[in-house]
Structure 1
Amino acid sequence: MRSIDQLTAELLALPSLSRSVIAEMLVESLEFDTDPKIYAAWTAEAKKRLNEIRNGSIRTIAGEEALAQVRQLLE
């Protein structure tokens, strides 16, 4: 069995579109005990962002680059 670190590295190596599909599937697999209106708003936002990625209206960056930017902001 792969460790979470190994699995994460493999997933981050996938193309952006594949990662977004997996992310959508993971979010949908979670049980939500939040307000249905909040859940609906987040679902709509996630779908909007996925569509933006798919139609090329936004530029994606590699996961490692994103993490590096976050780490830099936190320093």
Structure 2
Amino acid sequence: MGSKEILDEALKLKAPERFAVIEGLIESLDRPDLELSDVWAREAEKRLQAYREGRLKAVAMEDVFKD
């Protein structure tokens, strides 16, 4: 069954059932990439350590968002 047929069948469902299908599809696309999350966590730790050691200068949030 192709995507057109699946859509045609889904449109025959009652609204709450269509919502459940939509929610399931969105959740399937929004799964975190654990490897990428681990890379970002390590990078954040390295940056925090550099800041604490004075090797990284902080920029005020107001300055970041003023432009």
TM-score for the superposition, normalised by structure 1: 0.44
User: Based on CA coordinates, which of the two structures has the bigger radius of gyration?
Assistant: 2
RCO higher in 1 or 2 (8 Å CA, sep ≥ 6)? 1
